[in-house]
Structure 1
Amino acid sequence: MPTIPREQSHPSGNEPHRARRMAESFGVDAERYDRARPRYPDALVERIVAAGPGPDVLDVGCGTGIAARQFQAAGCRVLGVEPDARMAGFARRTGVEVEVATFEAWESAGRAFDVVVAGQAWHWVDPVAGAVKAAQVLRPGGRLAVFAHAFELPPVVAEAFAAVYRRVAPDSPLNVRPAGDGRPPERALTLYQAMFATFADGIREAGGFGEPERWRFDWEQAYTRDEWLDLAPTTGALTQLPPDKLAEVLGGVGAAIDAIGGGFTMPYATLAITAARIGAA
């Protein structure tokens, strides 16, 4: 789940790939990350596989291998590229082949792929250099597909999170103002759509691809208090907090969830930008 800094509220300032400390902070608890993070809709995986010319998939920023394992289950051969050795090590233990590198610096050694995917990761890649690299390693007719989950917490939970986060990390550059603060409820989705517009612009600028397509998959997931508090520390806003401040944030959020009955149902929109490789390899 991308965490969008304030300066990214406009696509022209969208350069989270330069925030390497945060980009490589998620491996602090790789086991929790893999356990708590939501999977991707089966319909998304099936559509990507059907749109590619073959089974060879390169998973950029594969993390612990969540998406990679889903593509393996769909019959694909998957190679992951992941800059965090802790995340890569976990993915390997689950049966995913992974090479440790940022995508921009990764060496393909002449290998070619039918599909390049990035789940919850393309915002950590330079949008133009990443698309150029994808075009270089895709076979003609191959497909680049980048995707992520957009979601809105219930207003009372989002407000509790924002209040306690501002208290424990007042100097954080992260934009954590919640739904329910006077902004439209689609605010998070609007920010994600702007980020995905930047991805599409990067694909166009890179060349070698047809016009990017936008896909969207809507779904829901129910969370108990404990399930959400297990997931929350894997998000970019919290991966770098010291234990005492993290505990304070989770305490405030947990109390808010208790106040609404001990759980909630989260509406998700999984967004994707995808484009086909055209021309010679």
Structure 2
Amino acid sequence: MTYVAPVTSSASEQQRRQHAASFGAAAQEYRRGRPSYPRQAVDWLVPASATTVADLGAGTGKFTELLVAAGFDVIAVEPSEAMREQLTEVVPAAAVHDGTAENIPLADASVDAIVMAQAWHWVDPALGIPEIARVLRPGGTLGLIWNIRDSDEPWVAELDEILHHHSRQDLDTAPSLAAPFAHVERAEFRWVHTMGRQSLFDMIASRSYVIVLPDAERADLLRNVAELLDSHPDLADHDEIKLPYVTRCTRAVRA
């Protein structure tokens, strides 16, 4: 999930690169706290006719394990060593490689489908699109997926307000895709992730913009989240937290 774009002098780009490189410091929290994805999203993103699927920016294997369970031969590509260690332990059936979307360690036309879960926003499309097209077979599918907290739920909106008070990351979850990709389609899936209180804190601690906060500011953020959990009527005294998500998907075909 940690994609490093080409070096530029802009402050915003340097910040993006810092955030992208931060996940290794919270690999265990990422594995414990991040949600999986709905199975129907796998079925929608990856054609049943596919055999070999590459998971780029595979992180700790949240989406990788769903691809393996669906019966595909899976190649996981992830640049963070700490994330790869988690991935290898959790999804031993996947072949795991160091690499990025801009530099994929696979042969030309070697996979039927490529997916990127919670990762496309770290990619430099000018470099990533031709590299992904190189690895895909003609007619192969590129699938992009994001889990977005459903802020229509009032307590989730309050949680987002706390997080965005310290920092925010605005994601384009319906990106345009340049040639040679065509037939771009979108889909959404709504679902609920059930988690414990500590898992919620792990999920927050694994956000890139939280990882890079100064210690005092991070502690203040987590304290505000604890106060929300203790005081909100939908959360107080609950052993389980039901966090609603909207999973947004994009798929396109390599022409």
Please classify the TM superposition score into its range, dividing by the shorter chain length: 0.7 to 0.9
Q: Is the 8 A contact 2:109 2:138 kept in 1?
A: no
In the alignment, what sits opposite 1:215? 187
Query: Hey, what's the Cα distance between the residues in 1 that align with 2:14 and 2:66?
Result: 25
Note closer, same or farther for the CA distance 1:17–1:89 as it changes in structure 2 (3 Å cut): farther
Q: Which amino acid aligns with 2:141?
A: R
Same amino acid, percent of matched pairs: 31
How far residue 52 of structure 1 moved from its aligned partner, in angstroms, is 5.4
Query: Hey, what's the Cα distance between the residues in 2 that align with 1:274 and 1:16?
Result: 26
Structure 1 alignment gaps of length 5 or more = 3-14, 166-173, 177-190
Q: Is the 8 A contact 1:214 1:271 kept in 2?
A: yes
In the alignment, what sits opposite 1:42? 39
Instruction: Say which SS state the counterpart of residue 210 (structure 1) adopts.
Output: strand
Instruction: Establish whether residue 147 from structure 1 lines up as the match of residue 140 from structure 2.
Output: no
Query: Hey, what's the Cα distance between the residues in 2 that align with 1:274 and 1:104?
Result: 19
Structure 2 alignment gaps of length 5 or more = 3-11
Query: Which structure: greater helix fraction?
Result: 1
In the alignment, what sits opposite 1:67? 63
Instruction: Establish whether residue 156 from structure 1 lines up as the match of residue 158 from structure 2.
Output: yes
Q: Is the 8 A contact 1:119 1:147 kept in 2?
A: yes
Instruction: Establish whether residue 28 from structure 1 lines up as the match of residue 30 from structure 2.
Output: no
Q: Is the 8 A contact 2:58 2:116 kept in 1?
A: yes
TM-score normalised by structure 2 residue count: 0.82
Q: Is the 8 A contact 2:75 2:95 kept in 1?
A: yes
Deviations 1:127-176 (A, max 9, x none): 2422222211111221000110111252333344445x3xxxxxxxx437
Match of 1:238 among 185, 210, 213: 210
Q: Is the 8 A contact 1:52 1:143 kept in 2?
A: no
Query: Hey, what's the Cα distance between the residues in 1 that align with 2:98 and 2:75?
Result: 11
Query: Hey, what's the Cα distance between the residues in 1 that align with 2:58 and 2:212?
Result: 20
In the alignment, what sits opposite 2:253? 276
Query: Hey, what's the Cα distance between the residues in 1 that align with 2:253 and 2:127?
Result: 17
Match of 1:228 among 200, 215, 224: 200
How far residue 91 of structure 1 moved from its aligned partner, in angstroms, is 1.1
Query: Hey, what's the Cα distance between the residues in 1 that align with 2:216 and 2:222?
Result: 10
Note closer, same or farther for the CA distance 1:40–1:17 as it changes in structure 2 (3 Å cut): farther
Aligned residues: 235
How far residue 225 of structure 1 moved from its aligned partner, in angstroms, is 3.3
In the alignment, what sits opposite 2:8? none
How far residue 222 of structure 1 moved from its aligned partner, in angstroms, is 3.7
Query: Hey, what's the Cα distance between the residues in 1 that align with 2:14 and 2:131?
Result: 15
Query: Hey, what's the Cα distance between the residues in 2 that align with 1:16 and 1:78?
Result: 32
How far residue 108 of structure 1 moved from its aligned partner, in angstroms, is 2.3
Instruction: Establish whether residue 93 from structure 1 lines up as the match of residue 70 from structure 2.
Output: no
Q: Is the 8 A contact 1:52 1:114 kept in 2?
A: no
Q: Which amino acid aligns with 1:59?
A: D
Instruction: Establish whether residue 131 from structure 1 lines up as the match of residue 134 from structure 2.
Output: no
Q: Is the 8 A contact 1:225 1:254 kept in 2?
A: no
TM-score normalised by structure 1 residue count: 0.75
Instruction: Say which SS state the counterpart of residue 158 (structure 1) adopts.
Output: helix
Instruction: Say which SS state the counterpart of residue 212 (structure 1) adopts.
Output: strand
In the alignment, what sits opposite 2:242? 265
Query: Hey, what's the Cα distance between the residues in 2 that align with 1:135 and 1:243?
Result: 41
Match of 1:251 among 199, 207, 223: 223
